[in-house]
Amino acid sequence: MSFIEVKKSEVLCKEVKVYIPGNQYFIDRQEVDKILQADSHTLVGRRMENINIHDLQKRLRANPFIEFAKVYADMDGVINVEVSQRQPILRIINRYDQDFYVD
Protein backbone atom coordinates (compact mmCIF):
# COMPACT_ATOMS: atom_id res chain seq x y z
CA MET A 1 0.00 0.00 0.00
CA SER A 2 2.78 2.44 0.77
CA PHE A 3 4.22 1.91 -2.73
CA ILE A 4 0.84 2.81 -4.24
CA GLU A 5 0.58 5.98 -2.14
CA VAL A 6 4.10 7.07 -3.19
CA LYS A 7 3.31 6.37 -6.84
CA LYS A 8 -0.01 8.24 -6.58
CA SER A 9 1.72 11.31 -5.16
CA GLU A 10 4.05 11.42 -8.19
CA VAL A 11 1.49 10.82 -10.95
CA LEU A 12 0.13 13.77 -12.91
CA CYS A 13 -3.29 13.78 -14.53
CA LYS A 14 -2.71 13.14 -18.22
CA GLU A 15 -6.25 12.89 -19.54
CA VAL A 16 -9.95 12.97 -18.66
CA LYS A 17 -12.01 10.30 -20.45
CA VAL A 18 -15.78 10.79 -20.51
CA TYR A 19 -18.25 8.01 -21.36
CA ILE A 20 -21.90 8.94 -21.93
CA PRO A 21 -23.93 5.93 -23.11
CA GLY A 22 -27.28 6.17 -24.86
CA ASN A 23 -28.72 8.04 -27.77
CA GLN A 24 -30.34 10.93 -25.89
CA TYR A 25 -27.96 13.87 -25.74
CA PHE A 26 -29.30 16.27 -23.13
CA ILE A 27 -25.77 16.54 -21.84
CA ASP A 28 -22.64 16.22 -23.94
CA ARG A 29 -18.89 16.02 -23.47
CA GLN A 30 -18.48 19.80 -23.52
CA GLU A 31 -21.03 20.24 -20.73
CA VAL A 32 -19.34 17.54 -18.63
CA ASP A 33 -15.95 19.19 -19.24
CA LYS A 34 -17.42 22.51 -18.15
CA ILE A 35 -18.75 21.00 -14.91
CA LEU A 36 -15.40 19.32 -14.23
CA GLN A 37 -13.51 22.39 -15.45
CA ALA A 38 -11.45 20.01 -17.58
CA ASP A 39 -11.65 22.26 -20.62
CA SER A 40 -9.81 25.02 -18.77
CA HIS A 41 -7.02 22.52 -17.99
CA THR A 42 -7.50 22.67 -14.25
CA LEU A 43 -7.31 18.87 -14.06
CA VAL A 44 -4.79 17.88 -16.71
CA GLY A 45 -1.27 18.48 -15.45
CA ARG A 46 -2.18 18.46 -11.74
CA ARG A 47 -0.98 15.83 -9.32
CA MET A 48 -3.55 13.08 -8.85
CA GLU A 49 -3.31 13.39 -5.07
CA ASN A 50 -4.51 17.01 -5.32
CA ILE A 51 -7.64 16.16 -7.32
CA ASN A 52 -10.75 15.48 -5.24
CA ILE A 53 -12.52 12.73 -7.18
CA HIS A 54 -15.49 12.72 -4.81
CA ASP A 55 -16.05 16.44 -5.30
CA LEU A 56 -16.01 16.02 -9.08
CA GLN A 57 -18.57 13.23 -8.79
CA LYS A 58 -20.76 15.36 -6.50
CA ARG A 59 -20.70 18.29 -8.94
CA LEU A 60 -21.76 16.03 -11.80
CA ARG A 61 -24.62 14.51 -9.81
CA ALA A 62 -25.91 18.01 -9.04
CA ASN A 63 -26.73 18.53 -12.73
CA PRO A 64 -30.47 17.98 -13.36
CA PHE A 65 -29.85 16.07 -16.61
CA ILE A 66 -27.52 13.54 -14.97
CA GLU A 67 -29.11 10.56 -13.25
CA PHE A 68 -25.89 8.92 -12.08
CA ALA A 69 -22.19 9.76 -12.32
CA LYS A 70 -19.14 7.73 -11.45
CA VAL A 71 -15.64 9.24 -11.39
CA TYR A 72 -12.51 7.22 -10.78
CA ALA A 73 -8.81 7.46 -11.53
CA ASP A 74 -6.33 4.84 -12.63
CA MET A 75 -2.65 4.57 -11.79
CA ASP A 76 -1.60 5.97 -15.18
CA GLY A 77 -3.01 9.43 -14.50
CA VAL A 78 -6.29 9.06 -16.37
CA ILE A 79 -9.54 10.22 -14.78
CA ASN A 80 -12.48 8.19 -16.05
CA VAL A 81 -15.98 9.68 -15.95
CA GLU A 82 -19.12 7.63 -16.57
CA VAL A 83 -22.35 9.59 -16.87
CA SER A 84 -25.86 8.16 -17.07
CA GLN A 85 -28.42 10.63 -18.39
CA ARG A 86 -32.00 10.91 -17.25
CA GLN A 87 -34.46 9.41 -19.71
CA PRO A 88 -37.24 11.89 -20.46
CA ILE A 89 -40.64 10.46 -21.23
CA LEU A 90 -42.65 13.66 -21.59
CA ARG A 91 -42.02 17.25 -22.63
CA ILE A 92 -44.39 19.94 -21.35
CA ILE A 93 -44.63 23.41 -22.87
CA ASN A 94 -46.76 25.88 -20.95
CA ARG A 95 -48.49 28.99 -22.24
CA TYR A 96 -45.43 31.12 -21.36
CA ASP A 97 -43.28 29.07 -23.79
CA GLN A 98 -41.40 27.46 -20.93
CA ASP A 99 -40.65 23.80 -21.44
CA PHE A 100 -40.06 21.03 -18.93
CA TYR A 101 -39.11 17.37 -19.18
CA VAL A 102 -40.58 14.64 -17.02
CA ASP A 103 -38.46 11.54 -16.48
Give bridge partners of residue 47 from the DSSP assignment.
12
Question: What is the 3-state secondary structure of the chain?
Answer: CHHHHHHHHHCECCEEEEECCCCCCCCCHHHHHHHHCCCCCCCCCCEHHHCCHHHHHHHHHCCCCEEEEEEEECCCCEEEEEEEECCCCEEEECCCCCEEEEC
pLDDT tens sequence across 56-88: 999 999 988 888 999 999 888 899 999 988 877
Report all structural domains of the chain as residue ranges with CATH numbers, in order of start. 2-102 (3.10.20.310)
pTM of the full structure: 0.74
